[in-house]
Amino acid sequence: MNLALIDWVIVALYIAVILAIGVWSLRRIQDAGGFLLGNRKLGTGMMIASTFAGGINANHPVSVAANTFKHGLSGMWLSLAYILATPVFWMWPPVVRRLRIVTMVDFFRMRYGRLMEWFNLIKVTVVAPFSFGVGIKAAAILVVAVGGRDAAGAPLIGTHTAIAMIVIPTLIYTLMGGVVAAYAVDMFQSLLIVVLSFLLLPFLVWKAGGMVEVDRQVSAALPLGWDLLGGAQGVPGIWLFWFTVSLVFSAPIVYGGGSGAARTEMAARWAIIGNLGKRFCTLGWGLTGLFAIALFGASSVSSVRAEDVFARACVESLPAGLRGVMVAAMLAAVMSSIAGMMLQFGGNMVNNLYKDYLVRNASPAHYLVMARVFTGASVFLGWIVAASDLGLVHNVVIVEQVSGVLGVTVLAAIVWRRATAAGAVVATAAMAPLFYWGNRAASKWPEWYRWTVDRVLDGYAAVGIDPHVTSATLATLGPEELVQVTTPIFLSVGTVLLVVVSLCTRQHHEHSVAEFYARLETPLGDEQRLRDAGFQADTLEDLDRAQIDADAKDRDVSRRLLLPDLLTWPWLLLTGRARLSDYRVDLFGVAGSILFILLFLKSVGWLVDWIRP
């Protein structure tokens, strides 16, 4: 068996620590608002930990290592693409915090009405199991691999046993302490995730016979394997462009949902540090897959599946004791992310389904019980997905992109006040089937969709862009390799329809839309201004049956947010309705984000030059 007694002791100690944190946080939870959002009192440290540990799922190191094993360092763009959306990650969290919503479903109901609320509820119900499942599946692959095999070659730890090791402890501490437990555990798990990202590298080099041998074998298998762009053998630039565009549209859905728990807008903003930390960890995951070529050979001839590379590298290179550390670190990666997703799922169900449509005007204690029930139920849906045979990398691409279907309407709601419910509904209804067919194998496309893809290819040819795919090769590539021809279809159709229909229709409810923008224009600590204007100050008040006000000392220096004014800020400045200093926090953050992107990408080149002999 590959796991020694010391390994099991380490894993048991890790589980004991997180359960102890759950017990500690239990007494702090008195109502659903505390369970789901920590009563909006979480500080900067917890917010950073939540975006770092909670933002790293177990599928990320596994899928990135698989991609670099096949494509070289350019395979890191599967995760590294998020760095290009860093300015959005700075501007978006304070928007969520200032809206004072409980879930993103509240966002859709207030801005677009009940039909879009139901679109989002359905999306959450369908997509959440895949989000849980891909992370659980990635961690289970590692646990099964390091558990070893019997004489007949059967795994000593079965898939469902491995899944249970992940799910049960997560379920216990999350149900005990809710978001407080999840974020407190994240602070501990962040350390383990750093270990997860870099622990394998020196052992892989030693096992391969030194860095000279690693360099020789990588260069022989992938001549441009050390290149971040990768040339013809790497990830196509046009693929990266459209994948990044989809991430920008997805960002409001997948990132910053926990910002509503922050004590202040700045605490929500500084959570970006955790997101930037993930970019550094991506280097470790990418190099792990690249170095694994020296152990297992090129992906085209290796007997090791790309998705198993990370787990097999652990088995082949780590000594006893450190295997237990790696298992604990992988458990930390998946537990931190699925705990957050469980809470978001539970919040959507209790706040937007149960409270609004099934049991109205119940006590806060009753809603707390139901929040725990729905949160617990969600993870078993993920269990089903994790035990399935769905491909890991393809599922990562789906999960990362699918939120773009609704993300188009979210960004429009923030930056364009003319966007209407009718426009959002028509755009979403049109994008959903286009996204669905784009994630099916090309051989299963209907004729009309194949014709549309051919027109996209014609467009590339007309402007002289090589999409690295032709009409003849479509059937030989997986859906995750066709992003450059499928993503432009659903995003462009959705955007055009949203604009055209919105220009032809009226707002669904003038008061509700006015409240939406009034909240955006009212900094924390000024909640009474909203009440005086006839608006509700905080959506959480419906769930906890109490008036909620941010502390006056938590009021931020930023009076206006750049993202809601993105299309109008020059006009606002010219007419004197705003001053440039009103946007100073956003502007400094955007400038810093761009500088970080440039320095980080440059430093990757420096790092490669330094480690190569």
> Cα–chain-centroid distance for residue 346?
17
CA 193 vs CA 32, 56, 167, 287: distances in Å: 29, 8, 18, 16
Q: What is the pLDDT of residue 124?
A: 80
The mean pLDDT value for 69-79 works out to 86
Least confident piece of the model among 85-94, 141-150, 354-363: 141-150
Q: Is residue 146 part of a domain?
A: yes
Give whichever of 213-227, 266-280, 587-601 has the largest mean pLDDT. Answer: 587-601
pLDDT of 311 higher than 70? yes
Structure tokens at 519: 């909240």
For residue 112, pLDDT over 80 is answered with: yes
326 assigned to some structural domain: yes
Please tell me the total count of domains within the chain. 1
| Among 193, 219, 247, 215, CA closest to 78 | 247
pLDDT of residue 212: 92
| Residue 467 covered by a domain | no
Tell me if 238 is assigned to some domain. Answer: yes
List, for residues 595-604, the tens digit of each pLDDT value.
999 999 999 9
Look at residue 230 and tell me if it is in a domain. yes
**How many C-beta atoms lie closer than 10 Å to residue 388's C-beta?**
12
pLDDT, mean of residues 417-433: 94
Better pLDDT: 136 or 285: 285
Which is more confident, 380 or 55? 380
Q: Report if residue 544 sits inside a domain.
A: no
497 within some domain:
no
Q: Is residue 442 part of a domain?
A: no
Tokens of 139: 């961690």
Q: pLDDT (tens digit, 9 = 90+) per residue, 498-532?
A: 999 999 999 999 999 999 999 999 988 888 999 99
Q: Is residue 368 pLDDT above 90, yes or no?
A: yes
Characterize 569-594 residue by residue with b for buried, 16 or more Cβ atoms within 10 angstroms of its Cβ, and e for exposed: beeeeeeeebeeebbebbeebbeebe
Q: Mean pLDDT throughout 332-345? A: 84
Q: With 80 as the cut, is the pLDDT of residue 55 above it?
A: no
- 331 vs 555: CA distance, rounded Å: 38
What is the CATH number for 245?
1.20.1730.10
Q: How confident is the model at residue 395 (pLDDT cuts 50, 70, 90)?
A: low
* Pairwise CA distance, residues 428 & 434, whole Å: 10
Determine the pLDDT at residue 547: 86
Enumerate residues 6+ apart whose C-beta is below 8 A from 461: none
For residue 252, name the pLDDT band (cuts at 50, 70, 90): confident
Residues 6+ apart with CB under 8 A from 531: 537
Query: What range does the domain containing 172 cover?
Result: 5-415+591-611
Predicted local distance difference test score (pLDDT) of residue 392: 53
Both tokens of 337, joined, read: 């992310």
Residue 149: beta bridge partners? Answer: 155
Residue 359 predicted with pLDDT over 70: yes
Write down the pLDDT at residue 147: 75
